Amino acid sequence: MEASVLIFGLVNSATLMLVALGFSLIFGLSGVANLAHGGIYLFSGYVTWMLMNYLGVPFLLAVPLTIIIAGVLGALIYWVALKRVRGLHLSEVIATFAVGVAILELFRWMGFVTYEFTLPVFIKGSVDIAGVSIDYQRLLIIGIGLLLAFALWVFSRYTKMGLALRGMAQDEYTALSIGIDSDWAAALSMALGSAIAAIAAISILPLGIISINMGYEVLIMALAVSVVGGLESITGLVVASIILGFAKTITGTYFDPKWMEVIYLFALVLVLAIKPSGLFGKFKELEERV
Amino acid sequence: MSKETILEVRNLSKNFGGVKAVSEVSFQLKRGEALGVMGPNGCGKSTLINLITGFIKPSSGQVFYQGKDITGIAPHKAVNLGIARSFQMAKPFYNIPVYKNLIIPLFSPRVRKLVGGKFGDRDEAAIHLLEDVGFERDSSIPYKAAGSLPHGYVKRLELARCLSLEPDLIILDELFSGMSMSEVASILPFLERLRDEGKTLIMVEHRLKELFRVVDKVVVLNFGKKIAEGLPEEVVQNEEVRKSYLGSEVDSSA
């Protein structure tokens, strides 16, 4: 394998992982399939841009502010759109999808579609690894992705809050009967997941311009990784990111770049047909269905 | 008895459509008492428990707990007041290790206040609690995922989960259902000990012989109505109770 395939495969994998983490976290912790994920992702990008360009906030301050604002938005989406339909999965999906589309199209309507919308990179410059030139931002994406995945793994297994939230996702009645407030837990997980979406956006968006359609692409990426890896499994998420990331890179390098985005959907359909609960999925019901 | 009343249920009713699942049920429970709730299948026992613990909102009537009106309270708030309940169909957090199932209650405000301690401090206490309810000492079972437990252990975990909440009132909904004779026999002394330690208990149960070993008094329901209340040995002599259990022998030999 060429060095460039290896390196850019890793970058693509880390990108996928970052994008899918927030989505997967919300599903794993509260059972909500948050289809507003792409909307929140782009919202975060635009918020950072607006903070910097309209209010003159320095980048280093705009980043934590954006993460907090995205978290608040996530909790707000829960209280406004989800609280009433909690437990009705189809309604949850419709509600979050509507919110996501509303956010994205609101920005389109406001005219956020030109080439001026870019975010700065953390560190300028690039480095040569095995003859492949790679910029620091892409290396950072790999680092941030791994760090976040590890942090979430620890959070969901070794902290009271993480366990309580996981419990909530597994059985709401049992969780209620040990004194966990279900609305509070779900709002909190929406806030956490949205904050992570913001981290992903701030890390990845500097690689190009911010465009509305990326919101939809990001949602497809998150869905593909979650379905291939199996929901509520962080191991599955990492493995699926690597598989899809390399599949994309290999397709782009050896076949035709136009197939690069289709590969996600292809993998999604393939996994649904063969092993519907995903490679590492724990949803036994799907396996046992005849 | 001059002890304070911990729970009072006043004319509690619940209609599901036209069906009166629970109809005008009233009773009182004093601190330290053990109450049995019995009656044939579908007589409203579980609904009654769900009404008291807030999982179902009553159509009419009131529930008082420690003098406070808690009618229609949110379930997690009832827990934080000290009412712990088990489920007939126990659903532990299946992909979380057994002992960690008992640590999650630390997240609730009540347990945090009463027990305190950081995450990890409670590991030892959780293991002890599991041994109390009959998990084998020094086995690997507490470290396995709760979803891998056999049914009898799930029910014991359910009991341990109630106790981990530091409750004032423990409500056990058919704890014995699905347990083998020997499993029930091994858990009975523990329940008797809870009663002797002065814990307030409500047990919904079909296995009357075992139930009567633990409880001081019983309430009998039929078609959602309370048809008898009193000492176990009195109640089983009651003509209406005998009729409601038509065909099944009411065994008072215990």
Closest CA to B203 of B8, B36, B28: B36
How close, in Å, is residue A97 to chain B by CA atoms? 29
A138-151: pLDDT as tens digits = 888 999 999 998 99
The SS3 of residue B50 is helix
First to last CA, chain A: 41
Q: What percent of chain B has pLDDT over 90?
A: 13
Which residue range is the domain that position A250 belongs to? 3-288
B98-114: pLDDT as tens digits = 888 888 887 777 887 77
Residues of chain A below pLDDT 50: 289-290
Residue B254 — very low, low, confident or very high, per pLDDT cuts 50/70/90?
Answer: very low
Q: What is the CATH number of the domain that holds B59?
A: 3.40.50.300
Closest CA to A7 of A257, A245, A263, A216: A245
CA distance A162 to A154: 9
Q: What is the CATH number of the domain that holds A31?
A: 1.10.3470
* Total number of domains in chain B: 1
User: Does residue B196 lie in a domain region?
Assistant: yes
The SS3 of residue B203 is strand
CA distance B204 to B190: 17
CB contact under 8 A, B104 and A164: yes
Which chain A residue has its CA at the smallest distance from B166's CA?
A178
Instruction: Answer for the pair B81, B113: CB distance below 8 angstroms, yes or no.
Output: no
User: Does residue B191 lie in a domain region?
Assistant: yes
Please state the ipTM of this predicted complex. Answer: 0.75
Q: Scanning the structure block, which residue is given the tokens 């470290």?
A: B143
User: Does residue B252 lie in a domain region?
Assistant: no
Q: What percent of chain B has pLDDT over 70?
A: 94
Is B96's Cβ below 8 Å from some Cβ in A? yes
CB contact under 8 A, B93 and A173: no
* Other beta carbons within 10 Å of B13: 18
- The pLDDT of residue A156 is 83
CB < 8 Å from B in window 181-200 of A: 181-182
Instruction: Answer for the pair B112, B168: CB distance below 8 angstroms, yes or no.
Output: no
- The pLDDT of residue A41 is 94
CA distance B200 to B182: 25
Q: Kindly state the greatest CA–CA separation across chain B.
A: 55
Is A176's Cβ below 8 Å from some Cβ in B? yes
Is B59's Cβ below 8 Å from some Cβ in A? no
CB contact under 8 A, B108 and A176: no
CB < 8 Å from B in window 144-163 of A: 158-161, 163
User: Tell me, what amino acid is at A167?
Assistant: G
Which chain A residue has its CA at the smallest distance from B107's CA?
A160
A91-131: pLDDT as tens digits = 999 999 999 999 999 988 988 877 778 888 887 888 887 77
Residue B247 — very low, low, confident or very high, per pLDDT cuts 50/70/90?
Answer: low
* Total number of domains in chain A: 1
Instruction: Answer for the pair B84, B162: CB distance below 8 angstroms, yes or no.
Output: yes
Residue B248 — very low, low, confident or very high, per pLDDT cuts 50/70/90?
Answer: low
- The pLDDT of residue B1 is 45
Instruction: Answer for the pair A163, B81: CB distance below 8 angstroms, yes or no.
Output: no
Strand bridging mode B68-69 / B60-65: antiparallel
Closest CA to A5 of A137, A154, A132: A132
Is B115's Cβ below 8 Å from some Cβ in A? no
User: Does residue B135 lie in a domain region?
Assistant: yes
CA distance A290 to B8: 49
CB contact under 8 A, A160 and B109: no
Which chain A residue has its CA at the smallest distance from B92's CA?
A174
- Chain B residue numbers with beta carbons less than 8 Å from the beta carbon of A282 are 95
Instruction: Answer for the pair B237, B228: CB distance below 8 angstroms, yes or no.
Output: no
* Other beta carbons within 10 Å of A285: 8
Rg over CA atoms, chain A: 19
User: Tell me, what amino acid is at A241?
Assistant: S
B131-164: pLDDT as tens digits = 888 888 778 888 888 888 888 888 889 899 898 8
Res B6 pLDDT > 60: yes
Which residue range is the domain that position B86 belongs to? 5-244
Is B122's Cβ below 8 Å from some Cβ in A? no
Which chain A residue has its CA at the smallest distance from B97's CA?
A157
CA distance A173 to B55: 8
Q: Enter the DSSP assignment of A127.
A: E
Instruction: Answer for the pair A124, A136: CB distance below 8 angstroms, yes or no.
Output: yes
Q: Give Cα A248 to chain centroid, integer Å.
A: 17
